[in-house]
Amino acid sequence: MTDKIKNLYIFTGKGGVGKTTLSFSFAKYLQDQGRKVKYVYFESSSISNSQSPIDQGQELGRALGIDSIALDLKECAQAYVSKKLKSETIGKWVVKTPFFKALINMIPGFNYLIYLGRILEYLNEDPDLTLVLDSPSSGHALTMLEATHNFSEIFQSGIVFDDTKKMIDLMFSENFLQVNILTIPTMMAVHESQDLDNSLQKIIQINSKIICNNTFHDLEGIEDANLPDFLKSKIENELQVVKEHSSLIAAYVTHSPSISKEQISKDLAPSMKSLV
């Protein structure tokens, strides 16, 4: 395995394993190394009229000095259609038709294709850029990564088909993409991340790492601290996980006892080297 910095890092894993925090820590680490990096997330998974988007951490990005890109489905779709039909007016019109909206909203895999297309465009435009994608949790990450294959199967010919093929070629080219699957140190969570990794490998050979986040056993000075029973048994369970799955887990990220998310992301940044 090479340690060359990839163009795209996708952080996934089940909910609550620290995707957002670690995505930012990782982006911060790369930025501190002098790398040009941006944090990316999907604002919504449908084109809706009313809702304000869920803010996944732009605030945190600002505090850490990391640029964020919030991808909006409607804008991405419009940009693509406009480019292909060589007219912004038509692009705008197509995306606005109730039918197009209804269609996109009924076929969720299609959003991910549109999103991925936009991400790859950013990377094409600037080869020095690294994007860190704070991806949807496990199942939806699979929907996203399967989308290119599913839709190239659906389209079979035409411009979209060619573009989808190009996306696949780029995404799965050497040193381009890495999927970091995050987990927490419990048996069940590690098994789930292993399942996810297996499903990923079934789609296509993807460069992936399982990262165990929020461990206590390797916290500095933990052996000498006087801990309550609930923490002792937590650490005991952790050590069991480490013992049984050491070959599976590529890196451990130690718990940060800080209180604010900003400080936690800063605390963890130096240890992100192993996630490259």
Partner 1 sequence: MAIESKQFEIFSGTGGVGKTTMATSRAIEIANSGKRVLLITIDPAKRLKELLGLNDKDSGNAVTITNPLELGEHIKLDALLMNPEETIKRIAEQTNTQAVAQSRIMKILAKPYGGLNEILSIVELQMNLDKNIYDTIVLDTPPGSHFLDFLESVDKIRAFFDQKFVDIFNYVGKKSATTPKGTGRKLMTMVVSGGVKKLMGYLQKVTGGKFVEDFMEAVGAIYQSKDSFISALNLQKELKDHNKSNWYLVTSVDQNKMKEAMDLRDHAKDLFDNKTYIILNKCLNEKLEDWKPQEDDHLAVKLKESFSHRENDLKTHMKEKFQNVLEFSEVLKVSPLDHVKELITQWKNIEQKSKFEQGS
Q: Among residue numbers 112 through 131, which ones bind partner 1 (CB under 8 A)?
A: 112
User: Counting contacts by CB under 8 A, is residue 54 touching partner 1?
Assistant: yes
User: Counting contacts by CB under 8 A, is residue 261 touching partner 1?
Assistant: yes
Name the residue nearer to partner 1 (CB basis): 28 or 101: 101
Whether 211 and 181 have beta carbons less than 8 Å apart is answered as: yes
Q: How many residues does the chain have?
A: 276
Question: For residue 37, what are the β-bridge partners?
Answer: 130
Interacting residue with partner 1 among 5, 79, 129, 160 (CB under 8 A): 160
- Cα gap 111→12, rounded to integer Å: 17
Residue located via tokens 């650490």: 235
Q: 3-class SS at 244?
A: helix
- Cα gap 68→41, rounded to integer Å: 8
User: Counting contacts by CB under 8 A, is residue 161 touching partner 1?
Assistant: yes
**Footprint (CB under 8 A) of partner 1, residues 201-230:** 219-222, 224-230
**Footprint (CB under 8 A) of partner 1, residues 77-96:** 81, 84-85, 90, 93-94
User: Counting contacts by CB under 8 A, is residue 192 touching partner 1?
Assistant: yes
**Shortest Å, Cβ 220 to partner 1:** 8
Query: Token pair of 161, please?
Result: 């088909």
**Shortest Å, Cβ 186 to partner 1:** 8
- Count of positions on this chain that bind partner 1 (CB under 8 A): 78
User: Counting contacts by CB under 8 A, is residue 62 touching partner 1?
Assistant: no
Residue located via tokens 């790398």: 35
Strand 177-183 to strand 67-71: parallel, antiparallel, or no bridges (unpaired)?
unpaired
